[in-house]
């Protein structure tokens, strides 16, 4: 019997069947009535029971949000740099990085790096930039666009913000621009950012403020209609951050609907420190 026909599945195999990370799958397991058995500390799943459960429509919304996100960025990757010039230009990273520059010689992470917008600027000062993204297509564009010199500093890594492939206490700073509103579980990702930061390390986030343009969910694969600042503050506090500041960035993200409506959504920056 080949692997694709195996009836009894481990947690990893069941997650693959759902095409989500094991963390996302564990959340489904906690919150929904997924058919599962626990043997000692190990989860076991029946392929047939899982496929029947999916076919009954139980998990479709949750799983498809993650898949839609990947499909959207695979589709826009070749033109993303052009789109970005119209969305938010170059000013945003200058504002952000001049306010919170990496120390020379430091190791930093750019989560949801896309085509390497922040990573490129960070590589001018940092010793190592771990640039991670869930979309292989976006990373491929980054790999083609970045110079050989930049690629000596920037490590392009495929991975999920909810489950980062970095050691605890390994990064001096963690940056993420316009990532949170694409995530299924921003609080879980923020806990990951905290985990991988060294003591006294700083998180630097930027994203769009809360808005009511519902079409961004369908047309731009946004999961959140911007981020509510009070909610973000709670996520940062819950993760353990201190010295939290959330502030106006002084720039907007411009985006257009298929029906031809163009809107400008104001952006915020946020920071916090992992205390000693
Ligand atoms: C709006 S783009 C921003 C890209 C980049 N930070 C920039 O400023 O140009 C959002 C990026 O987040 C990535 N992304 C979405 N969900 C992710 C996840 N769970 N883990 C890591 N990256 C993710 C997308 O693939 C995409 O490249």
Question: pLDDT tens digits for 132-187?
Answer: 999 999 999 999 999 999 999 999 999 999 999 999 999 999 999 999 999 988 99
Q: For the residues 229-241, what does the mean pLDDT come to?
A: 97
pLDDT band at 193 (very low <50, low <70, confident <90, very high): very high
Assign residue 169 a region (left: φ > 0; alpha: ψ between -120 and 50; beta: otherwise). Answer: left
Atom number in ligand 1 closest to CA 162: 19
Q: Which of 46-60, 215-229, 238-252 has the lowest mean pLDDT?
A: 46-60
Note whether 203 and 83 are same-domain residues: yes
* End-to-end Cα separation, the chain, in angstroms: 53
For ligand 1, atom 12, the nearest C-alpha belongs to: 112
Residues 24 and 77 in one domain: no
127 within domain boundaries: yes
- Shared-domain flag, residues 119 and 24: no
Residue nearest to atom 4 of ligand 1 (CA): 114
Ligand 1 atom closest to the CA of 80, numbered from 1: 9
**With a 6 A CB cut-off, is 117 part of the ligand 1 pocket?**
yes
**Among candidate residues 58, 81, 100, the one where a domain is terminated:** 58
Residue from 109, 179, 217, 265 whose mutation best tests the ligand 1 pocket (most atoms within 8 A of CB): 179
Regarding whether 149 and 19 lie in a shared domain, the answer is no
Question: How far apart are the CA of 87 and the centre of ligand 1, in A?
Answer: 14
Angle at 159 between CA 246 and CA 67, to 5 degrees: 90
Q: Cβ(135) to ligand 1 under 6 A?
A: yes
Same domain? 46 vs 131: no
User: Sign of dihedral through CA atoms 129, 274, 162, 215?
Assistant: negative
Residue with tokens 């896309």: 114
Same structural domain, 43 and 178: no
Q: Is the CB of 216 under 6 A from ligand 1?
A: no
- Domains held by the chain: number: 2
Given a cut of 60, is residue 59 above it in pLDDT? no
Examine the domain organization and report whether 88 and 214 are in the same domain: yes
Residues 178 and 93 both lie in one domain: yes
Comparing 52-66, 87-101, 115-129, 246-260, which segment has the lowest mean pLDDT? 52-66
Separation of alpha carbons 49 and 65, rounded Å: 22
Helices (H), 154-219: 186-196, 215-219
Which residue range forms the structural domain that includes residue 229?
69-273
Percentage above 70 pLDDT, the chain? 94
Nearest to 74 by CA among 221, 198, 185: 221
Q: What is the number of helices (H) and of strands (E) in the chain?
A: 12, 10
Q: Is any ligand 1 atom within 6 A of the Cβ of residue 120?
A: no
> Quick one: which H or E segment has residue 255?
strand 242-256
Is residue 63 situated within a structural domain? Answer: no
Compute the C-alpha angle 265/113/92, nearest 5°. 40
Nearest CA to ligand 1 atom 8: 177
- CATH number of the domain encompassing residue 31: 3.90.105
Strand-pair partners of 268: 207, 248
Q: What pLDDT is stored for residue 42 in this prediction?
A: 82
């Amino acid at each position: 019997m080949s692997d694709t026909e195996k009836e009894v599945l481990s947690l990893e195999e069941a997650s693959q069947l759902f095409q989500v990370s094991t963390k996302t799958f564990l959340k489904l397991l906690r919150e929904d009535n997924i058919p599962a058995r626990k043997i000692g500390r190990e989860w076991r799943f029946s392929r047939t029971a899982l496929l029947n459960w999916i076919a009954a429509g139980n998990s479709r919304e949750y799983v498809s949000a993650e898949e839609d996100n990947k499909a959207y960025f695979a589709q826009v990757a070749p033109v993303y740099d052009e789109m970005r010039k119209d969305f938010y230009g170059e000013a945003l990273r200058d504002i952000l990085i001049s306010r919170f520059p990496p120390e020379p010689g430091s190791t930093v992470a750019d989560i949801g790096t896309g085509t390497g917008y922040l990573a490129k600027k960070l590589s001018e000062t940092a010793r190592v930039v771990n640039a991670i993204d869930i979309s292989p297509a976006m990373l491929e564009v980054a790999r083609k666009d970045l110079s050989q010199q930049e690629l000596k500093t920037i490590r392009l890594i495929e991975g999920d913000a909810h489950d980062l492939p970095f050691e605890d206490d390994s990064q001096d700073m963690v940056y993420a621009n316009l990532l949170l509103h694409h995530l299924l579980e921003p609080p879980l990702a923020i806990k990951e950012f905290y985990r991988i930061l060294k003591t006294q390390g700083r998180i630097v986030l930027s994203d769009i403020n809360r808005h009511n343009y519902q079409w961004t969910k369908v047309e731009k694969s946004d999961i959140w209609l911007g981020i509510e600042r009070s909610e973000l503050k709670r996520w940062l506090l819950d993760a353990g951050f201190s010295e939290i500041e959330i502030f106006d960035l002084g720039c907007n993200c411009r985006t257009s609907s298929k029906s031809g409506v163009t809107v400008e959504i104001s952006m915020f920056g946020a920071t916090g420190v992992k205390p000693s």
